[in-house]
Structures are given as C-alpha cells and as structure tokens.
Structure 1
Amino acid sequence: MDPKQIPLFARPAATLAVPTVIDAALRGGADLALSLSAGKDSQALVALLAPWFRAQGYTGRCYVVHADLGRAEWPQTAALVERMAEDAGMPLLVVRRPKGDLVARFEERLEATRESGAPFWPSSASRYCTSHLKAGPIDTALRNPAPFWPSSASRYCTSDLKRGPIDTALRSAEVVISAEGVRADESHARAKKPVVEIRTGITASSQKATRNLSAMTPEEALAARNPGQRVALNWRPLLHWNTEEIWQACGTSSAELTRRRLLYAAGQHEEALQGWPCHPAYVFGNERLSCAFCVLGSKNDLLNGAQHNPELYAHLIQLEIVGGATFKNGWSLTELPVTGEAARLRDAVLGQHKSAA
C-alpha cells in the first residue's frame, strides 16, 4: 500500500462525545457523577472526564460514585476505586444496598423461591412448558424451573445493587448527569444505546404530558423543567472508543497486558503485577471486570474468579445445591476445571452434601 494513502484510512484520534445538551446542562450548574466500577472502561472515563470537567470551568459538583457489591467484589476493588478517585482529584461516594450485599441478595432470592411454594409441574397459571421449552431441549430448560440467580432476562444484580443505590445518591440534585463507561464494542445491545438519554427512573414524571419530563428528549426536558422538578441524564462519552484507546487512556496497552499475562501464567506473579495501573483481574486473564462471579461472564472469567476467590466460589456452590438451581441455566459452577484451594473447597462442599444425603 502506498504510505500516502494511510491517512485516508486512519482512525481519527479518539475524543469525548459531548453533545450540546450535556454542555448546556453543565454550564447551567448540573452535577456530574462519574460511575466507577474499577474496570478499564470506567477507569478511563474517570481519568479523562475529571481534568476535562475542571478545564471547562463548570460550576456544578463533579464526583466519583461506586456501587459496592460487598462479598461479590474482587478483594482488590475497594482499594483500587479509592486510588483511582484520588488520582483524578475527585471526591468518592460509595453506595451500597441498605439490605445487604449481592451475596445476601442471592440468599434472599433463594429463600423467596423456596417459600413461594411454586409447583414443579406447569399449569394454566405457570406455563413454563411453553415459555421455556420452545427455544431449547426439555432437559436443559427443566434444570432450572425457578432460578434464583440473576440472568440476562432478570439482572436484579444491576437494578438492586447498582442502579437503585446510585439513583438514591443522584436525587440530591435537580439536574444531574450520570457519566458511564459504556462502549458500543462491548455488545450489540450497547451499540444501540445513544450517547445521551433521559434517566427515566429519577426524572420527573406526570400524567400530564406537558409535565412528564421522563417521556421527553433531554433537550425538551431541560427546557420544560420547572424549579423543583428533576432531570437526570445518562451520558456515554466513550461510546465509540475501541479497546486499545481505552487501554491507552488507562496508561497502558493491549500489548503490555499480553506481556504481563504471560509472566503471570509462568508463575512470575510479582513481576507481572508490579506497576500495573489497572485491576489485577485483567492480568489474571479476565476479559471483563465485574464482580468476581458475573452470571453473564465467560467460563474463562468465572474460572479466574474461582481460582482467586475460592471461599466465595465454595459458598456459591453451596447455594446452587441448597437452592436446586445452577448458576447458569443448565451449567453449574462445579463444572469449572479449578485446581488448588478452589478444587479442595469444591470437593469438600460436594462431599458434605453427599454424606448428608
């Protein structure tokens, strides 16, 4: 290829997507909350938006908000979140579900499922034979007739442990923007999301159309808002960034990550992690960073979670057995090819239940 042609096809330098409505809201004094999970996307978000916000001279508050999932988190996450907020020079607000952490929520759902008395067989009121069996074989579907675990169709881990507590915090301002590190590259569903939209759950609603801000566009809602009415926006300034651009914003690269993963796999753990600016789970081999056991995570990520969090792994297996439902529909955590302490604890839990039976 002629070198002179390269600029014609080169990707433009990544820039923050800042719609006019976002700038207008911030110039009007809106609060800006930077959501931080400690994953690479949210780390890049905080690292980029904190200095940008200061440079614009906006008068509203800007702070980092982290939803703490408790025992379900990687043990390194809390300290990393504190460091990332401190590095950005932003105050940190940590929110939690008042009734308990994500593991407690699993347990609550398990008990609710057991106490509901839902019949095993389908009926006119519960036709799971129709709803569950058309897309797959009967034995797979019946393995979890009444699952208590979260799933892609029931992401209560997000609604109860993240969005709910964060919404409570965001209610402190009449105009507030929640900045999120969501990227189109992550999934087809995320690729369809807009850069900015109304956060309907805490935006003023009304039976009267002219006052129902939650049903309006962001521009319409801000223009129609009266004092005392809240407008909340979701903003995704990194929506069209690619993975390499994110790593660079975090102070590293995919090539550097690959080098460190090879070191870690070779047993050179200290060298692999020394000076690494991001979450260590990536060096362990994770592609995504969420809680230590994300129901939407790959088997590789779940295996890493089990190997590095063996006690939590054993507890979740216990819940699978007691609740009679596998972590994923048709697939159990016991099937992970774990070694070492994780394997020992798994076998101990399975042995206890075999003896009890």
Structure 2
Amino acid sequence: MPETLSNRKAHRTTEQGGTVTEGPAPDLTQYDAITCNLSGGKDSWLMECLAMQEVLEADVEDRVYSFHATLGALEWPSVKTSAEILPSVSTLAALQSSASGLPADRHLESTKMTQNDTPAVYDLLTYVAAYGRFPRLGTRFCTKAYKEQLEEAAMTPIINQLKVTLGLATTPTARKLDRPIRRLKVLGLRSDESRDRAERPAYRNISSNSIRHTDEWCPAKDWTTQDVKDFHAASGFQHHWTYDSYPGAGDWEGTSRCSCSFCVLSSKRDLIIAVRRRPRLAALIALVEAVRGDTFQAGRSMHDLIELSQQKGGPDPGVVLNDETPEFEAMEKAVRAALSRPPRKGIDRATLNRPRLPLLTDPSTTCDARC
C-alpha cells in the first residue's frame, strides 16, 4: 500500500494508542474493515443508516460488514398476527442490513456454541445457571461472552484475509504485520440511555495490538429517543413488535428495549411486560434464582416480578407467548442440567434477604412508580 501523508498520520496515532484518525469522528477511508453491530432494535436501524450515509460518501462500501450476535431463545421471537408474521430480533437485524444496501454475504450472525465433539447452542441462561450468578452493571459478562467475543471470532477470517490482500503479511496466519489491521466498530449507543453512555466518547479506541487496532464509533450518540422514533417514521422501516403495546400496533407503548427479552438492565415496567408476555421463560429464570440463590437484578428478583405481574394494574402485555418451540425446550433442558451440578462461582446467601417490591394493588404506590 502506498505510504501517503494520511497513512503516515494514521500510523503515528495508532502507535500512540489513540484512534486511527484525529478528531471527534473517524475518517472511514483510513479503516480496512468497518463493522456495524445490529441488535435488531430501533437504535441499530438509525446507526446503520447514519453509518452507511458516511460510507457512501467515502466510497468504502466494500469494507463494510454488519454483525448480529443472536441470543437464541432469549431473544424476542417472531409472532403471527391476523395479517402477517412479524419478524424476530435476528430476522429484523438481517432486514436492517439488507435495507441499508449491504449484500447478504456481508451480514454476519453468530451464536455461542458448546465446545465439545457435538457442538450445540450454549444459551445465556444456561451459562448463568452453570456460572451461578446473573450479570450486573459492573460485571456484564453477557456482553463480553455473548457479543464481543462472538464478533471477534466472526471477524477473524476476514482480518486474516486482509493481512494478505493489503500486503501487510504473506500468509493469513502471520503474527508479524507491517502494521495492524484497522477496524472500526460501529454501535447504536446513545447518551440519553444511561449516564455511562453519556460520558463515553462517540469515537474512541477500545483495543490495540500488533494484529488488530479497533476503534469504536457511535454516530447516533446525541440523538434523543424521540428523534429515533421520528426517524423510524420518516424512513418507513418497521420497528420490532416488542416496542408496541401489541404486535402491529405501531404505538411505541410496549417495552423500551429490544433484543434480550429479560435484560438485567431493563426497567421494572419493561420486565413486567416481559413476564406477562413470556411467563414460561420468567418461570425458568426464577428457577435459576431459587437454586443458585442470586437475584435477577441486585435489588429485584424474578420471583417478585412474577408476583407483581399477577396483580391487577400495570401494562397490558398485548400478546402472551407459549414458548413451545424446540429451541426453548432445548434451553430448558440445558438449564436444568446445569442446575444439577455445583456452580462455578459461589454466591453470598445474604442476597436472598432482598427488599420486597410493592404490589401493583398497593394504593400508596402510583402507577408510574409501579410500572
């Protein structure tokens, strides 16, 4: 590759541990691979559109991939209405990719598998049951093991080929390169989702070694939730059905999050809707709690959420899923098998002395506080 002035600047910044290019936003022409992470949620569609707009202007379409890490039976599935079948999270992520203009072979999807002679899906709830603890804000092993590691593995063959294609090494397995492969990881994170995300730079370096230099870019960081909804309406592209009060309503009165049906970072209202929509999955999570002694959230148990969901008041689910699928049956069997063995990580039994949640019928608790 010719050593241009811009390339020399990129080399120098990379060696110092910063981003490939200087400034608050990346120069896409300086990256060898660009990966748009699609969850299938509303922010992913906005991010993909913003990123692809910049990609087209920079004329680097051939460097772009989209990626979705599927959580299998824990994701919101497809549902059938009287008029149509509304897609699952994974299907919608693929539709987001194709609608943005990426060819089908540029969309990567990965699922965590068991490491044995007959690999099978290793779902997150089975992982939690075997580990003995649920993820927490400060220990989100779900993100690392079920998203970041899968993405790195999916990109490895592509990066190995780039070593040779770009003339940085003579073989795909080479460990010594003339310079690292420069990859840009594009996310749909936004400031108004949490304080942590508000404080995170929109463009930053997240890892660097002799083979891979990876920067992160959040082009939708300063967009508000209402901005995102307005963008969806203007684009005409569908959002996932779980955002609505019932499948196909289009009113954004359902859950505020997508992807994992029961995210440990979800609000109480979202979790009440999820329990009412997926009672069988909620019961399985409660079983893991009971056996392992850890609660789903630090101050909130699935047992209490189920009790709350059975009271009057609060959000209507709009739909109740029976979860009678081979995928769910396999997960339930694997979870029970994991619970029959000692956990890899012990738990402080004091977590069982948790405060109880107010019931939905408690007149001293307002609907906003309850839901």
Q: Is this a same-fold pair by TM over 0.5? A: yes
Cα separation, 1, equivalents of 2:41 and 2:22: 25
Q: Does 1:178 align with 2:149?
A: no
Q: Which residue of 1 aligns with 2:195?
A: 188
In the alignment, which of 248, 251, 260 is matched to residue 233 of structure 2? Answer: 251
In the alignment, which of 87, 90, 101 is matched to residue 123 of structure 2? Answer: 101
| Per-residue deviation, residues 295-338 of structure 1 (Å, max 9, x unmatched) | 11111111111112222111111111111222123432122222
| Per-residue deviation, residues 105-136 of structure 1 (Å, max 9, x unmatched) | 112212xxxxxxxxxxxxxxxxxxxxxxxxxx
Q: Per-residue deviation at 1:252?
A: 5.4
Q: Which residue of 1 aligns with 2:89?
A: 77
Q: Does 1:334 align with 2:346?
A: no
Is the contact between residue 34 and residue 65 of structure 2 (CA under 8 Å) also seen in structure 1?
yes
Is the contact between residue 31 and residue 183 of structure 2 (CA under 8 Å) also seen in structure 1?
no
Query: Structure 2 vs 1, CA of residues 62 and 315 (structure 1 numbering), >3 Å: closer, same or farther?
Result: same
- State the aligned residue count: 247
Cα separation, 1, equivalents of 2:68 and 2:113: 15
Query: Structure 2 vs 1, CA of residues 298 and 232 (structure 1 numbering), >3 Å: closer, same or farther?
Result: same
Is the contact between residue 198 and residue 232 of structure 1 (CA under 8 Å) also seen in structure 2?
yes
RMSD: 3.1
Is the contact between residue 50 and residue 219 of structure 2 (CA under 8 Å) also seen in structure 1?
no
Among the aligned pairs, what percent are the same residue? 27
Aligned pairs for 1:143-292 within 5 A = 148-171=133-156, 172-173=158-159, 174-200=181-207, 203-204=208-209, 229-251=211-233, 269=246, 272-273=249-250, 282-283=252-253, 285-292=254-261
Is the contact between residue 29 and residue 59 of structure 1 (CA under 8 Å) also seen in structure 2?
no
Is the contact between residue 36 and residue 64 of structure 2 (CA under 8 Å) also seen in structure 1?
yes
Query: Structure 2 vs 1, CA of residues 19 and 289 (structure 1 numbering), >3 Å: closer, same or farther?
Result: farther
Cα separation, 2, equivalents of 1:80 and 1:303: 24
Give the partner amino acid of 1:50. Answer: M
Bigger helix fraction: 1
Give the partner amino acid of 1:44. Answer: L
Q: Which residue of 1 aligns with 2:33?
A: 31
Give the partner amino acid of 2:139. Answer: S
Q: Per-residue deviation at 1:37?
A: 0.7
> Alignment partner of 1:105: what SS?
helix
Q: Specify every segment of 5 or more residues in structure 1 that has no aligned partner in the other structure, as ranges.
A: 1-17, 111-147, 206-228, 277-281, 346-357
Give the partner amino acid of 2:204. Answer: E
- So what's the TM-score if we normalise by structure 1? 0.62
Is the contact between residue 30 and residue 60 of structure 1 (CA under 8 Å) also seen in structure 2?
no
Query: Structure 2 vs 1, CA of residues 247 and 23 (structure 1 numbering), >3 Å: closer, same or farther?
Result: same
Cα separation, 2, equivalents of 1:319 and 1:246: 36
In the alignment, which of 66, 69, 88 is matched to residue 67 of structure 1? Answer: 69
Bigger shift: residues 185-194 or 325-334: 325-334
- Kindly report structure 1 stretches of 4+ aligned residues shifted beyond 3 Å: 18-24, 339-342
| Per-residue deviation, residues 38-71 of structure 1 (Å, max 9, x unmatched) | 1211121112322431232126421211111122
Is the contact between residue 66 and residue 97 of structure 2 (CA under 8 Å) also seen in structure 1?
yes
Query: Structure 2 vs 1, CA of residues 53 and 318 (structure 1 numbering), >3 Å: closer, same or farther?
Result: same
Is the contact between residue 34 and residue 64 of structure 1 (CA under 8 Å) also seen in structure 2?
yes
| Per-residue deviation, residues 125-173 of structure 1 (Å, max 9, x unmatched) | xxxxxxxxxxxxxxxxxxxxxxx11111211111111111112233433
Give the partner amino acid of 2:205. Answer: I
Is the contact between residue 32 and residue 61 of structure 1 (CA under 8 Å) also seen in structure 2?
yes
In the alignment, which of 53, 56, 64 is matched to residue 54 of structure 1? Answer: 56
Q: Per-residue deviation at 1:241?
A: 1.7
Is the contact between residue 47 and residue 188 of structure 2 (CA under 8 Å) also seen in structure 1?
yes
Is the contact between residue 55 and residue 61 of structure 2 (CA under 8 Å) also seen in structure 1?
no
Is the contact between residue 175 and residue 232 of structure 1 (CA under 8 Å) also seen in structure 2?
yes
Q: Specify every segment of 5 or more residues in structure 2 that has no aligned partner in the other structure, as ranges.
A: 1-20, 78-87, 115-121, 160-180, 311-316, 324-371
